[in-house]
Amino acid sequence: MELGDIRGRSPWEDAWHRLLKNRAAVFSAFIMAAMILVVIIGPWLISWEADFTDWDNTSTGPSLSTGHWFGTDAVGRDILVRTLEGGRISLLVGFVATLVSLVIGVTYGSIAGFYGGITDRVMMRIVDIIYALPFMFFVILLMVVFGRNIILIFVAIGAVNWLDMARIVRGQTLSLKNTEFVEAAQACGVGRLDIIRRHIVPNLLGVVMVYVTLTIPQVILVESFLSFLGLGVQEPMSSWGALVNDGAQDMESAPWTLIFPAVFLTVTLYCFNYIGDGLRDALDPKDR
Amino acid sequence: MMHEHGILRHAAQRLLGVLPTMLLLITVVFFLVRVAPGGPFDSEKALPPEIQANLEAKYHLDEPLIQQYFRYLGQILVLDFGPSFQYKDWTVNELIAEGFPVSLTVGGLAMVLAFLVGTMIGITAAMKQNTPVDYSTMGFAMLGISIPNFVVAPLLILVFAVYAGWLPAGGWDWSVQRMVLPVITLALPMIAYVARLTRGSMIEVLHSNFIRTARAKGLPEKTVIRRHALKPAMLPVISFMGPATAGLITGSVVIERIYAIPGLGSYFVTGALNRDYTLVMGVVIFYGLLIILLNFIVDLLYAWLNPKIRYDEEY
Amino acid sequence: MACGGDDGQLTPPRDNRPRPVDELLVDGRPDPSTLAAEQVLRRANGEEPQTLDPHLAEGVPSSHILRDLFEGLTTEAPDGTVIPGTAQRWNISRDGKTYTFYLRRDARWSNGDPVMAEDFVLGLQRSADPATASNYAQVLLPIENAEAVLGGMLPPDQLGIEALDEFTLQIRLRDPTPYFLGLLSHSSTYPVHRPSLAEHGARFSRPGNLVSNGAYELREWVVRSHILVERNPHYHSADQVLLDRVYYYPYEDQSTALKQYRAGELHWTYEVPNNQFKWLQRHHPEELVVSPWLGSYFFGFNLTREPFIESPDLRQALVMAIDRELLTEKVSQFGEQPSFTLVPPGIGEYQSPQPEWADWTQQERNDEARRLYAAAGYSQERPLRVEIRYNTSENHKKMALAIASLWKQVLGVHATLVNEEWKVFLQNREQKFLTQVFRAGWISDYGDPYSFLELFRTGHGQNDYGYSNPVYDELLTMIASERIPARRRRLMEEAERMLLETWPIIPVYTYVTKRLVDRHVRGWENNVMDHHYSRYMYLLKSRPAGS
């Protein structure tokens, strides 16, 4: 990375030091790393299959003797393994959808901001129109038309979520456009798309990183909302949102079906949010 | 003088810009809802073809799509959203007129609550940045975006209505008791966003030169914040609140479903799922108008808070 | 919050809601001294009713309310049997095709006008008129010329109904239809008050406009909040009606209704959430009411495409490999009866022909299923791969999961689940292109086995199975024109046996209705139709505290 090459106490080193001082963010980062590891490796270590229905133990509470440490759901499936596998899907949806929105948003925003003029106006008008569409309506239609395809959930959520990113990036690009190094590059005859790629996008990194860590938890929540509407991932696959929604129906009669997935979900969302806030404090170029 | 002239000119431009935006929005929505498979009159008990034909003729669904589109545009011009396919005794206008005040009340109260609590938490956290006070207040604020509201809502009902018996478990009759739980549930995620934005911009403002100057003059910290820091720190919060308010006052599906509240939010979902074309188009267009209107208000507020803004760049 | 219980469930606080006094009946009527001072019933009622126009109404929620607002020529007793309504008595011609009804002279609309034969004529004609575009007009098809009127071939006044004088009415039928008297308690046959329809047109079913002839009149309707009906003082039996007001509350989420019930805000829930049978039985044993319902829950095969075209052995294997006792006990949980047939029990004297394997043990069924599965050419190495399609619903999801799991455990079938949104599901089912195994089921509007059997007629609108059997169709035609009850029953049994022997469906269980009813509410009875008229109900007063 070009910026890393700058000698002396670079802004990035500063940011790094500031981040390390934020204990909540550092702690969250460790938990998150552990969570990801558990979710990826865990299901291989558990003897239950995620879709195995244990007819002798339907809706039983957490117990060592049945071998279901987190209990079972209404058709006798192991909550522990479903929570872990659900975590895979939730995190995957979070990362991929965010990536989709990131790619669209950064491309769109930087082009609009850099070209300016009529291009900018038209592009931002389009953003305005999409903004005026209720997000839920859009996602529901996509789900209804294309069915419950998990790839589609990624794309649907990402495709709606890029608007904020585009606006932020456009704003940043506008202010970067008039900086000396961009003007210098223009004077040297570097093509506009090249300038966007080489000079604008890397300088957006800080803002983008903050945005990404804050978008992931948002997307995970959106997925859980889709599950609430019954439009989430296809059985027997699961997600934290789907598990929590199922659990919330039976919160009194089978609290374990809610508590375990909910703890995983909540801890994850907290961690991402703390990390995001920490990054923002440390990185946001406007700050301090 | 120059400045006010700028605002007026900007306002006029914005209002002119609304028309093509709305037209595009209507067009997009009209054709989008028709893409979904199935129609408004499909049901488990399949209809004999002649009855299906009768129904389609009654609602003009037998016409070519493009003709239906222009018929619809003509209706919209006189602000008539047509009859609802699903709720046959009501027109979409009536459904919106009944649902909107409910959503406006719940959403408006939630917005006020979120603004008050969120800014308080944000300011507190900013003043004590990176201390346990910061972590714990922000931790509390983030509750709303860390637990899905379809878990929070039934939990609140269980504790405050079923177990404690202090509040009603749901329903709607315009009484304050029935508003308490829905408003809190709806405000929770908003509190998180407001608190975070306030904290961020407050930290930024507190590090700026003019605040250092104010402090150097020996003013007490409270005065510094109230007189100097608050207004500029509110800018990002205000611009966030615009579209967020539109979302809140058109209701939340989750809140309406779990608390059995007759607001607008459910129509976005049930309208789409029932293929109630007129209803879903009606609420979507209504929502679009609301967003545009609120963004416009936010712009004006923004200009009032920050006279330095230039309109040729922002738009 | 008290947390405890041996199995980790949350335990709510002790139930200290008031209890009713003992019921005391005098000549079958409740003693006035036992009645609560305020006779206001609060009923939860499913989704928001789509309309209160009796001739446009469809769906269970609106029909509950319409039964309170209107009265047909016939009506139902608390136990669901058909009894005289606005018609005091009737004659049926020898060929079973002409009905003559004699109306009560004291029947009144809610504004005091007399209810006349013409009002019923207009009601039925309006219901059949293509301009009304009723979703439910097909229940009128037994009436002479109804098909032609519905199709727009004949004007509505050619429908086989005629007012012989002010209070005498004649209806002519196409075929003798043994369940016809039952149909006349259905909302699409209700009368209409001509002056208010003429004055208000499409808005005549609004509060303030609606003039009805039932025990109650419409007072308030706030969309998705509540509908309030009040005692109709002009109702012919108004002195028998005890509840002064009834609130109907719509719910999109049944757990909310349950919580409101527990908080004492409702007397009557529409249903209860899934999975909670044990919990409800423990905490609300006296209030949980479970009763058989006139409906069958089953899955269907698409017989027009692979792998189920021409493969009765495979279908039989899949039907047998399902442990219905397990499904009803562990999955559906509410005391549903395992079913091996299409028609549910409880329709008059009709008895579904039970297949031989219904008496086998599940082990025997599984063995036979494995043999058939292998005979059909499948094995562990070459398993059947199949999709089970269902519409979004917690219960369907659990059932599909359980069936997939049983097939896997017994036969080694690889079943994938496809959850579809309702309208998409309906379309796919009807097109018979994507479907393989799909969620089906039927709840009848009137107590006649024919309403189940006709679903499998070649080309029938709901024949999503693609079942086509000329002999079966022939039998259906014979049933439709047979007027001797015993012979008709025999024909129907034969048809059902013929159908089941070709394995087009996977019967699972018979539906039940399940709800919580406050202990103070009396006067209602369980019935297979699940029709509960508010005019029979009343509220007992509470015991004084401490007794």
pLDDT of residue A288: 37
Beta strand spans in C98-194 (E): 98-103, 161-165, 168-172
> Cα A275 vs. chain centroid, distance in angstroms?
12
* Any domain includes B164: yes
Do the Cβ atoms of B96 and B87 come closer than 8 Å?
Answer: no
Number of domains in chain C: 2
Residue C395's pLDDT band, with cuts at 50, 70 and 90, is confident
Q: Which residue has the higher pLDDT, B262 or A160?
A: B262
Residue among B43, B44, B170 minimizing CB distance to C260: B170
**What is the rounded average pLDDT for all residues in chain C?**
90
How far apart are the CA of C11 and the nearest CA of chain A, in angstroms? 8
Residue among A137, A224, A280 minimizing CB distance to B268: A137
Say whether pLDDT at C14 is over 80. Answer: no
Q: Is B200 on the interface with A (CB under 8 A)?
A: yes
SS3 call for C221:
strand
Residue C483 and residue C375 in one domain:
yes
Mean pLDDT calculated for residue range C451-477? 91
Residue C404 and residue C526 in one domain:
no
Helix (H) / strand (E) element for C246: namely strand C245-249
Which residues from chain B sit within 8 angstroms of residue A94, using beta carbons?
A: none
CB contact under 8 A, C265 and B154: no
pLDDT of residue B301: 77
Ordered alpha helix ranges (H), C292-332: 312-320, 324-326
Which residues from chain B sit within 8 angstroms of residue A287, using beta carbons?
A: 200, 203-204, 207
* Phi and psi at residue B129, to the nearest 5°: -50, 140
Q: Is A262 on the interface with B (CB under 8 A)?
A: yes
Question: Of C28-42, C213-227, C439-453, which gets the smallest average pLDDT?
Answer: C439-453
Residue A114's pLDDT band, with cuts at 50, 70 and 90, is confident
DSSP summary character for residue C107 = -
User: Which tokens in the block code for residue C265?
Assistant: 């805000």
User: pLDDT tens digits, residue range C68-125?
Assistant: 999 999 999 999 899 999 999 999 998 889 999 999 999 999 999 999 999 999 999 9
Residue B77's pLDDT band, with cuts at 50, 70 and 90, is confident
* Any domain includes A152: yes
Tell me which of C63, C139, C224 to substitute to probe the interface with B (most B C-beta atoms closer than 10 Å).
C224
- In whole angstroms, give the CA distance from residue B125 to residue A25: 15
Please tell me the total number of residues recorded for chain A in this structure. Answer: 288
Q: Which residue has the higher pLDDT, B246 or C487?
A: C487
pLDDT of residue B217: 82
Helix (H) / strand (E) element for C144: namely none
How far apart are the CA of B97 and the nearest CA of chain A, in angstroms? 19
Interface of B with A in 42-101 (CB under 8 A): none
Tell me which of C249, C253, C432, C454 to substitute to probe the interface with B (most B C-beta atoms closer than 10 Å).
C253
User: Which tokens in the block code for residue C431?
Assistant: 């097109």
CB contact under 8 A, A262 and B35: no
Establish how many alpha carbons lie within 13 A of residue C297's alpha carbon, considering only the half-sphere containing its beta carbon. 20
Residue C379 and residue C488 in one domain:
yes
User: pLDDT tens digits, residue range B226-240?
Assistant: 877 888 888 888 878
Say whether pLDDT at B315 is over 50. Answer: no
Could you tell me the residue range of the domain that residue A272 belongs to? 84-287
Inter-chain CB pairs, A–C, below 8 Å: 81
**What CATH code is carried by the domain that includes residue A233?**
1.10.3720.10
DSSP summary character for residue C80 = S
Q: How large a percentage of chain C has pLDDT more than 70?
A: 97
* Any domain includes C14: no
Q: Which residue has the higher pLDDT, A211 or A4?
A: A211
* Any domain includes C439: yes
* Phi and psi at residue A139, to the nearest 5°: -65, -40
Look-up of token digits 């967003």: B291
Look-up of token digits 């939990």: B155
Say whether pLDDT at B171 is over 90. Answer: no
Residue C411 and residue C539 in one domain:
no
Q: Which residues of A touch C (CB under 8 A)?
A: 51-53, 55, 58-62, 71, 74-76, 143-144, 147-148, 230-231, 234-236, 246, 249-256
Interface of B with A in 220-279 (CB under 8 A): 243, 247, 250, 253-254, 268-269, 272-273
Task: Kindly identify which residue of chain B lies nearest to residue C200, measuring between CA atoms.
Answer: B89
Q: Which amino acid appears at position C539 of this protein?
A: L
* Any domain includes C123: yes
Residues 6+ apart with CB under 8 A from B95: B84, B87, B267, B279, B282, C223
* Any domain includes A194: yes
Which residues from chain A sit within 8 angstroms of residue C417, using beta carbons?
A: 234-236
pLDDT of residue B312: 41
* Any domain includes B194: yes
User: Which tokens in the block code for residue C540?
Assistant: 């007992």
DSSP summary character for residue C355 = P
pLDDT of residue B5: 62
What does the longest C-alpha to C-alpha distance in chain B come to?
85
Mean pLDDT calculated for residue range C400-427? 90
* Any domain includes B193: yes
How far apart are the CA of C334 and the nearest CA of chain A, in angstroms? 13
Q: Please give the radius of gyration of chain B, using alpha carbons only, rounded to the nearest integer.
A: 24
For residue C414, what are the β-bridge partners?
A: C385
How far apart are the CA of C260 and the nearest CA of chain B, in angstroms? 5
Alpha carbon distances (Å) from B275 to A239, B39, B42, C461, C464:
28, 6, 9, 21, 22
- In whole angstroms, give the CA distance from residue B144 to residue B148: 7
Residue C256 and residue C329 in one domain:
no
Residue C358 and residue C376 in one domain:
yes
Ordered alpha helix ranges (H), C106-242: 117-128, 146-150, 180-183, 194-200
Residue C96 and residue C78 in one domain:
yes
pLDDT of residue C509: 94
Look-up of token digits 């605040």: B211
Mean pLDDT calculated for residue range C213-224? 94
Say whether pLDDT at C547 is over 60. Answer: no
Interface of B with C in 28-47 (CB under 8 A): 36-39, 41-47
User: Which tokens in the block code for residue C106?
Assistant: 């004291």
Say whether pLDDT at B1 is over 60. Answer: no
Among residues C121, C118, C136, C116, which one has the least CA distance to residue C63?
A: C136
Say whether pLDDT at C25 is over 80. Answer: yes
Q: Is A286 on the interface with B (CB under 8 A)?
A: yes
User: pLDDT tens digits, residue range A143-167?
Assistant: 777 776 777 777 778 877 888 888 8
**What CATH code is carried by the domain that includes residue C478?**
3.10.105.10
Q: Is C403 on the interface with A (CB under 8 A)?
A: no
* Any domain includes B40: no
pLDDT of residue C244: 95
Q: Is B175 on the interface with C (CB under 8 A)?
A: no
Could you tell me the residue range of the domain that residue C250 belongs to? 19-268+517-543
Q: Is B315 on the interface with A (CB under 8 A)?
A: yes
Residue among A133, A228, A266 minimizing CB distance to B150: A228
User: pLDDT tens digits, residue range C155-196?
Assistant: 999 999 999 999 999 999 998 888 899 889 999 999 999 999
Do the Cβ atoms of A43 and A77 come closer than 8 Å?
Answer: no
pLDDT of residue A10: 63
User: pLDDT tens digits, residue range C243-299?
Assistant: 999 999 998 888 889 999 998 899 999 988 888 888 898 889 899 999 999 899 999
Residue C211 and residue C315 in one domain:
no
* Any domain includes B36: no
User: Which tokens in the block code for residue B243?
Assistant: 């579209």
Residue C497 and residue C527 in one domain:
no
* Any domain includes A138: yes
**What is the rounded average pLDDT for all residues in chain A?**
82
pLDDT of residue C227: 95
CB contact under 8 A, A141 and B272: yes
Model confidence, pTM:
0.89
Could you tell me the residue range of the domain that residue B175 belongs to? 107-262
pLDDT of residue C412: 92
CB contact under 8 A, B89 and C51: yes
How far apart are the CA of A142 and the nearest CA of chain C, in angstroms? 12
> Cα B115 vs. chain centroid, distance in angstroms?
14
**What is the rounded average pLDDT for all residues in chain B?**
84
Residues 6+ apart with CB under 8 A from C216: C68, C69, C229, C230, C231, C232, C235, C241, C246, C534, C535
pLDDT of residue C456: 93
Q: Is A226 on the interface with B (CB under 8 A)?
A: no
* Any domain includes A62: no
**What CATH code is carried by the domain that includes residue B137?**
1.10.3720.10
Number of domains in chain A: 1
CB contact under 8 A, C326 and A148: no
User: pLDDT tens digits, residue range B278-302?
Assistant: 999 999 888 888 888 887 787 777 7
Do the Cβ atoms of A265 and A240 come closer than 8 Å?
Answer: yes
pLDDT of residue B214: 81
Mean pLDDT calculated for residue range A105-128? 85
Number of domains in chain B: 1
Residue C193 and residue C82 in one domain:
yes
User: pLDDT tens digits, residue range A221-270?
Assistant: 888 888 888 888 887 888 999 999 989 888 888 889 999 999 999 999 99
Q: List the chains bordering chain C where 3 or more Cβ pairs fall under 8 Å.
A: A, B
pLDDT of residue C546: 60
Q: Which residue has the higher pLDDT, A71 or C474?
A: C474
